[in-house]
Structure 1
Amino acid sequence: MNNVNSTPLVVKLGGAALECSDTLSQLFKAVAEYQKSAQRSIVIVHGGGYLVDDLMKKLNLETVKKDGLRVTPYEQIPVIAGALAGTANKLLQGQAIKDGLNAVGLSLADGGLCSVEELNPELGAVGKATPGNGEVLQAILAAGAMPIISSIGLTTQGQLMNVNADQAAVAVAGALDADLVLLSDVSGVLDGKGHLIPSLDKQQAQDLIQGQVITDGMIVKVEAALQAANDLGRAIEVATWRYPEKLNQLFAGKSIGTQFLPQ
């Protein structure tokens, strides 16, 4: 692939975008249009909490979250892995193929992409992912395909692990030495008056968390973005998928949300 920008872009896709085929189609069409000019490789990393929530409800299993992370009892991980690495991944892959992309469905374990270990015994089968070997992923990109990666990983003992999708995207970006964008329902980080904050450093973010301006799942996202900015040594973007007309600007490296700056 003859890239003008040789640095890959990892796009974490989450929130209601996964529930709306129209939104997904607009996003994948924007990716397909952008990749016609072969400017850079794009990798999608996804969660799919809504699918897990629906499945847990049908199975009469309780959903418990702690500090924005889903508690995943070991006896439930096969069900959760099926929803994320199976259903969610293939629904996304199917939509991408429909919209003209050569999509390949993967997980964090494929090709040794990420190393995963238990994060905290209290959370059960919730994993912490660290960058592994990006060679297989690079080969897929070189073949002109777009990887779509679920946030399910494996430990060295072969144990399935559920990894927070924001944190998974950070690990994938580290394995590829890639730029990273976290796309969600919101435009970025908003101040107390609902205005978009163009950029944040660690201290400013901590002040907003302590002031309860940043709460719940956004705390996990913000902490993942700050970690990524420091680990990768480059600004990380948190933005929205709600404005497909702006996505080409985003893919080209322009900020449309909140940028997190390395310290």
Structure 2
Amino acid sequence: MTVVVKIGGARAVDPAGALADVAALVDAGEDVVITHGGSTAVDDTLERLGIEPEYVETPSGVVGRFTDEETMEVFEMVLPGLLNTEMVASLQSQGVDAVGLSGVDGKLLHGPRKSAVRVVEGGKRKIRRGDHSGTIKEVNTDLLETLLDAGHTPVVSPPMAGADEDEDGNSIITAVNTDADRTAATLAGDLGARLVLLTDVPGILEDPDDESTLIESVETPGEFDELESAAEGFMGRKVMAIEEALDAGASDAIVADANATEPITSALDGAGTHVTAGAVTEEQS
């Protein structure tokens, strides 16, 4: 079964261990699709350019990036350019025939652009316009399966191909931001794969400040409700991604420590927070 691995872009995440583990899995005959974030690298580049990174909270309490035009330009430069290329080169150095792709390539990730988003500011709900983000509605799984069948390991990063209109009302495709966790979730769902979200903590914690409160297993809708209640800030987006992945056909989903020894193998063997498909009901999704 294919494994979709998302390597987090937080400052505390060192991708080297995960990439070495990918090489070991591929050498053992496993099909692996990698996705990655890059929030820290994007923020660092924005700050060097004198631009303040902006994060907003949705009415549902999920925190995400607001991507204006300047931020989108930096996003395109850093993720599919710098970070994706570095990961592909690292994998190739370890004998993996990796291929780097953005969501725009072959319309791998395709859906409508969202030019406005609902946010909460100062306790009030508002509409923010000028956003360059999108919602994935279609995945070119044929492209991924062709690469996998040929022995390649896809390394996928945002942006996605956003359906938009020009000033004359003509349909066009623009590169727009999309969340890396939800990108991984969409890929895992469409491929019927196992989903592994690697981050800078051991998994989802009941108390974010206490690693001993790790939630190890989530198998029922009631336990999933408790998981949603425990997730805070950016972890809330991971829980949303897990729900979307399982609802779309992923076999299971795991949140685990990217900096652990053999982080993917250990996650598949039981480390981290494991959520089974039975934990997500039609009513929840």
Say if 1:26 and 1:109 are closer, same or farther in 2 by CA, change over 3 A: same
Q: Is it true that 1:112 corresponds to 2:119 in the alignment?
A: no
Q: Does 1:257 align with 2:248?
A: no
Q: 1:171 corresponds to which residue?
A: 186
Q: 215-224 or 201-210, which moves further after superposition?
A: 201-210
How far residue 126 of structure 1 moved from its aligned partner, in angstroms, is: 1.5
Aligned-residue RMSD, C-alpha:
2.2
Q: Which residue of 1 aligns with 2:6?
A: 12
**Number of the residue aligned with 1:3:** none
**Matched residue of 2:132: which SS?**
coil
Larger helix proportion of the pair:
1
Matched residue, 1:4: none
- 1:34-62 deviation digits (Å, cap 9, x = unpaired): 22221x20010011011110111011112
Unaligned runs of 5+ in 2: 58-62, 118-127, 164-171
Contact 2:242 2:253 in 1 (8 A): yes
Retained in 1: the 8 A contact 2:108–2:160?
no
Q: Distance in 2 between matches of 1:242 and 1:155?
A: 33
Higher strand share: 2
Q: Is the 8 A contact 2:257 2:263 kept in 1?
A: no
Task: Tell whether 2:88 aligns with 1:96.
Answer: no
* Counterpart residue number, 2:120: none
Indicate the SS of the match to 1:121.
strand
Normalised TM-score (structure 2): 0.79
> In the alignment, is the contact (CA less than 8 A) between 1:133 and 1:175 conserved in 2?
no
- Residue 66 of structure 1, aligned match among 47, 56, 79: 56
Relative to structure 1, the CA distance from residue 66 to residue 11 in structure 2 (aligned partners, 3 Å threshold; closer, same or farther) is: same
Aligned residue in 2 for 1:199: 217
Distance 1:236 1:120 in 2: 30
1:87 positional shift: 1.0
TM-score between the two structures when normalised by the length of structure 1:
0.85
Residue 26 of structure 1 is matched in structure 2 by: 17
Whether the 8 Å contact between 1:117 and 1:127 is mirrored in structure 2 is yes
Give the residue type in structure 1 aligned to 2:46.
Answer: M
Instruction: Give the alignment of 1:116-127 within 5 angstroms.
Output: 116-119=111-114, 121-122=116-117, 124-127=131-134
In percent, how many aligned pairs have the same letter? Answer: 29
Q: Which runs of 5+ in 1 are unaligned?
A: 1-6
Q: How many residues align?
A: 249
What CA distance in whole angstroms lies between the structure 2 residues aligned with 1:131 and 1:179? 19
Equivalent in the alignment of 2:262: 245
Shift in alpha-carbon separation, 1:131–1:259, aligned structure 2, 3 A = farther
1:135-214 equivalent positions in 2, closer than 5 A: 135-156=142-163, 157-192=172-207, 193-194=210-211, 195-200=213-218, 203-207=222-226, 209-210=228-229, 213-214=230-231
Tell me the CA shift for residue 119 of structure 1: 3.9
What SS does the aligned partner of 1:126 have?
A: strand
Q: Which amino acid aligns with 1:133?
A: N
Structure 1 70/30 Cα, relative in aligned 2: closer, same or farther at 3 Å?
Answer: same
